[in-house]
């Protein structure tokens, strides 16, 4: 099997996104990744992040690119998680990415990076294969940032879709906070 096929398999599992680190893990040298990009098989988005032209993009591709561009240990958070899952109606002009470490890369304007040292490991998961906070944590983070009736509608939709359960919802009538 050739390098192009190896990269295709990586991209197929990651919404079309290939990183140099993933390629290296699969035995594809970084120089070969750059050669394939120069030949038009890959489109470069930033340092070490590419999208494979033979994989159709989907609704999660842009989010996967954002997390890959920000680097290891980063994750989607707040409305980016809910938007990825189609909960509520969000049309963010920036994809919100959280990190617990310093990121020195220059990132595109369509991304918003925020240091989130308050997010424990238990609140992180994979959503559509992309590192992100849990739906419960995303809802907690958004409470107070939007009208209460809209937040309640988001919680009800997440419950209806079994993305959170009754144990996640505290029975506090005054705040409706998730526990």
| pLDDT tens profile 139-179 | 999 999 999 999 999 999 999 999 998 887 763 333 455 65
DSSP, collapsed to helix, strand or coil, labels residue 51 as: strand
pTM of the model: 0.88
pLDDT at 105: 86
Res 129 pLDDT > 80: yes
- Kindly state whether residues 88 and 157 are assigned to the same domain: yes
The first and second tokens of residue 40, run together, are: 């038009």
- Kindly state whether residues 30 and 70 are assigned to the same domain: no
Res 110 pLDDT > 50: yes
Evaluate whether residue 21 is within a structural domain: yes
Evaluate whether residue 173 is within a structural domain: no
Rounded to an integer, what distance in angstroms lies between the CA atom of residue 47 and that of residue 62? Answer: 16
Task: Specify the number of domains making up the chain.
Answer: 2
Contact of 77 with 33, CB cutoff 8 Å: no
Ordered strands of the 95-99 beta sheet: 111-115, 95-99, 74-76, 130-133, 124-127
Q: Which region among 28-32, 80-84, 105-109 has the lowest average model confidence (pLDDT)?
A: 105-109
- Kindly state whether residues 113 and 25 are assigned to the same domain: no
- Kindly state whether residues 15 and 69 are assigned to the same domain: no
Mean pLDDT for 110-139 is: 95
- Kindly state whether residues 81 and 148 are assigned to the same domain: yes
pLDDT at 51: 97
Q: How many CB atoms lie within 10 A of CB 31?
A: 9
Could you tell me the sign of the dihedral formed by the alpha carbons of 41, 45, 49, 51, in that order?
A: negative
Which structural domain range is residue 86 located in?
Answer: 61-168
- Kindly state whether residues 140 and 119 are assigned to the same domain: yes
148-160 and 135-142 helices, crossing angle to 10° = 170
- Kindly state whether residues 146 and 82 are assigned to the same domain: yes
- Kindly state whether residues 48 and 77 are assigned to the same domain: no
Mean pLDDT for 123-138 is: 95
- Kindly state whether residues 17 and 67 are assigned to the same domain: no
């Amino acid at each position: 099997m050739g390098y192009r096929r190896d990269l295709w398999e990586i991209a197929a599992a990651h919404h079309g996104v290939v990183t140099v680190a993933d390629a290296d893990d699969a035995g594809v040298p970084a120089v070969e990744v750059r050669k394939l990009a120069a030949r038009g098989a890959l489109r470069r988005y930033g340092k070490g992040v590419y999208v494979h032209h033979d994989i159709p993009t989907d609704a999660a591709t842009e989010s996967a690119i954002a997390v890959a561009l920000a680097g290891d240990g980063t994750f989607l958070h707040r409305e980016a998680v809910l938007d990825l899952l189609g909960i509520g109606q969000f049309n963010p002009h920036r994809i919100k990415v959280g990190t617990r470490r310093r990121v020195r890369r220059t990132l595109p304007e369509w991304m918003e990076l925020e240091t989130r040292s308050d997010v424990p490991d238990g609140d992180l998961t994979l959503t559509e294969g992309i590192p992100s906070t849990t739906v419960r944590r995303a809802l907690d983070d958004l409470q107070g940032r939007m009208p209460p009736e809209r937040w309640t509608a988001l919680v009800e939709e997440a419950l209806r879709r079994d993305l959170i359960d009754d144990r996640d919802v505290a029975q506090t009538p005054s705040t409706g906070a998730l526990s």
